[in-house]
Amino acid sequence: MGRLAQTDGLTEIQRDILATVRDFVDKEIIPVATELEHKDEYPTAIVEGMKQLGLFGLTIPEEYGGLGESLLTYALVVEEIARGWMSVSGIVNTHFIVAHMINAHGTQEQKDYFLPKMAAGEIRGAFSMSEPGLGSDVSAISTKGVKDGDSYVLNGQKMWLTNGGTSTLVAVLCKTDEGGSSPYKNMTTFLIEKTAGFGPNATVPGLTVPGKIEKMGYKGVDTTELILQDVRVPADRVLGGAPGKGFYQMMDGVEVGRVNVAARGCGVARRAFELGISYAQQRSTFGKKIAEHQAIQFKLAEMATKVEAAHQMMVMAARKKDSGERNDLEAGMAKYLASEYCKEVVEDAFRIHGGYGFSKEYEIERLYREAPMLLIGEGTAEIQKMIVGRRLLEEYRIAQ
């Protein structure tokens, strides 16, 4: 396995879980990932295997049928899955975020109803905050929910839903104008159950998932829009039971999501390093293996250092959250560092492969198209730096 990206202080259960997932990745994901990715084919068999392993309920408490594991365990599992194929980690990520939000903020009725089904993988979640004209400014959302008796009527258009078609539960952020003057107190999260599939939804009148958005990478997993036209949602499907808390609930979800994206960056970077160091020992130029050239050794050393640094930063952010402490500083740093280093390590592995890296026959070509998504997902590098900068000013503010 090599000595990179090892994690100290794990329990025997955590080590067993990771060993099981690593074996699953090596046997069930890596051998088929490139073929499925080139076809943009949903990995049905892989998803069924993850359901059998209990991965959809990894962090859901045992009382609801889950494994009750920590964010750290989840992040390390995601790192292993992304090492095999990043798209598969995306399938569990939005599900995990929605389950986390329900467990942390939901009413008891919502927990009792949703979490057991989510732990079993019977209900699979998607997370919907972004809109076509929104970018990183969440306060500018225009999708609106209007109270009408014991229901809300939702209208608007959402964008960039991972698992938008295959999911059966979507957590949707809407503007509700019930919280006062601040835009951040006028947002509400709605839990919408739907039928899996594309087009007008069979069970939710007015809800439409138009189809998959074509992407340069991150294929296999469906990324979609969500159109809401007079969609009626019962008031008891407001997350937490009261309006006006949606922004804070979503930001909590994004915070753990940033640790997830950092873990994905770590996994993709580690796979790129593995491919690079393996190819360097097989390819010969000027009468010797290219791994014996000092220039390549320097490159491998830099790649390995970045893999290790990103992994340790991701672990620190996850442990901070697990301890109950505020971790937006660490999560922002981890997401920023891991995604940037992932891009650099993948590009270096691509360079080591030379012309063959440009061929679709080689796995590194797929990684080269996947890495850019991590620069954007769960907030761009610029957003992470804004978060980190503001938190540093809070921590180091001088007396005036």
The dihedral built from the CA positions of residue 74, 44, 42 and 134, taken in this order, carries a sign that is negative
Annotated catalytic residue, options 378, 382, 394, 395: 378
> Which three-class secondary structure string do you get for 76-100?
HHHHHHHHHCHHHHHHHHHHHHHHH
Q: From residue 137, how far is each of 154, 160, 184, 254, 379 by CA, in Å?
A: 20, 15, 11, 14, 10
- 155-171 burial: b if 16+ Cβ within 10 Å, else e: bbbbbbbbbbbbbbbbb
Residue 24 CA to residue 80 CA, distance in Å, equals 9
Distance of CA 299 to the CA centre of its chain: 29
DSSP H or E run through 332: helix 328-352
- CB-neighbour burial class of residue 177 (10 A; exposed 0-12, middle 13-18, buried 19+): middle
378 in catalytic set: yes
Active site residues: 378
